[in-house]
Structure 1
Amino acid sequence: MSTKLTFPYNSAYPSVADLRKKAKTRIPKFAFDYLEGGANEEFNLQRNESDFDHIYLKPRYLAENGNIDLSTELFGKKYSAPFGISPIGLQGLMWPNAPEILAKAAAKEKIPYILSTVSTSSIERIAEVSEGSAWFQLYHPTEDHLRDDILNRLQAVECPVLVVLVDVPAFGLRYREIKSGLSMPPKMNIANIFQAMIRPTWGIKTLQQGIPSFATLKPYMEAGLDLSQLGQFMNKTFTGKVTFEKIKAIRERWKGPLVLKGIATDEDMQEAIQLGADGVIVSNHGGRQLDAAESSINSLIRLANNPAYKDKIKIMMDGGIRSGVDLARAHAVGSAFNFMGRPFMYGVGALGDHGGEHTINMFKTHLYQIMQQLSIDKIDRFSERLL
Structure 2
Amino acid sequence: MKLYVNSKYPSIDDLKNKAKKRIPKFAFEYLDGGCNQDVNIVKNTAEIREVELSPYYLDSYNEPSLKTELFGHTYDAPFGISPIGLQGLIWPNSPEILAKAAFDHNIPFILSTVTTSSIERISEITEGKAWFQLYHPTEARLRDDIIKRAAAADCPVLVILCDVPTFGYRPRDIRNGLAMPPKMSISNVLQVLQKPAWALNTLRYGQPGFETLKPYMPKGLNLSELGKFMDQTFSGRLNEEKIKPIRDMWKGKLVLKGVATEQDAQTAIKLGLDGIIVSNHGGRQLDAGQSSIKPLVRIADKYGDKIKVMMDSGLRSGPDIARTIASGAEFSFLGRSFMYGVSALGKKGGDHTISLLKTELKQVMDQVGCEKIEDLHKHLVKN
Common fold, TM-score beyond 0.5? Answer: yes
Q: Residues 259 and 240 of structure 1: is their aligned pair in 2 closer, same or farther, counting only changes over 3 Å?
A: closer
Spell out the pairing of 1:7-22 with structure 2 (5 A cutoff): 7-22=3-18
Q: Is the 8 A contact 1:22 1:350 kept in 2?
A: yes
Q: Is the 8 A contact 2:163 2:236 kept in 1?
A: no
Q: Say which is worse superposed, 223-232 or 340-349, in terms of deviation.
A: 223-232
SS at match of 1:40: coil
Q: Is the 8 A contact 2:162 2:236 kept in 1?
A: no
- What are the ranges of 5 or more consecutive residues in structure 2 without an aligned counterpart? none
Matched, 1:381 2:375: yes
Work out which of the residue numbers 80, 92, 95 in structure 2 matches 1:96.
92
Q: Residues 142 and 165 of structure 1: is their aligned pair in 2 closer, same or farther, counting only changes over 3 Å?
A: same
Matched, 1:361 2:364: no
Distance 1:240 1:26 in 2: 33
What RMSD in Å do the two structures reach over aligned CA positions? 1.0
Please name the residue that 1:345 is paired with: 339
Please name the residue that 1:229 is paired with: 225
Matched, 1:336 2:330: yes
Work out which of the residue numbers 148, 158, 164 in structure 1 matches 2:144.
148
SS at match of 1:277: coil
Work out which of the residue numbers 251, 256, 263 in structure 1 matches 2:252.
256
TM superposition shift of 1:11: 1.2
TM superposition shift of 1:328: 0.7
Q: Say which is worse superposed, 344-353 or 293-302, in terms of deviation.
A: 293-302
Q: Percent same amino acid among aligned pairs?
A: 59
Q: Is the 8 A contact 1:258 1:277 kept in 2?
A: yes
TM superposition shift of 1:381: 0.8
Q: Is the 8 A contact 2:49 2:323 kept in 1?
A: no
Q: Is the 8 A contact 2:44 2:291 kept in 1?
A: yes
**After TM superposition, where is structure 1 displaced by more than 3 Å over at least 4 residues in a row?**
none
Please name the residue that 1:319 is paired with: 313
For 2:370, the aligned partner's letter is I
SS at match of 2:212: helix
CA deviation profile, 1:324-343 (whole Å, cap 9, x unmatched) = 11111101110100000000
Q: Is the 8 A contact 2:66 2:362 kept in 1?
A: yes
Please name the residue that 1:278 is paired with: 274
CA deviation profile, 1:317-360 (whole Å, cap 9, x unmatched) = 00101111111110111010000000000000000000001000
SS at match of 1:25: helix
CA deviation profile, 1:294-319 (whole Å, cap 9, x unmatched) = 0011111121112xx13210000001
Please name the residue that 1:57 is paired with: 53
For 2:380, the aligned partner's letter is L
Matched, 1:267 2:271: no
CA deviation profile, 1:141-181 (whole Å, cap 9, x unmatched) = 01110000001101111111000011111111111100000
Distance 1:302 1:38 in 2: 24
For 1:254, the aligned partner's letter is W
Distance 1:138 1:240 in 2: 10
Please name the residue that 1:119 is paired with: 115
TM superposition shift of 1:38: 0.9
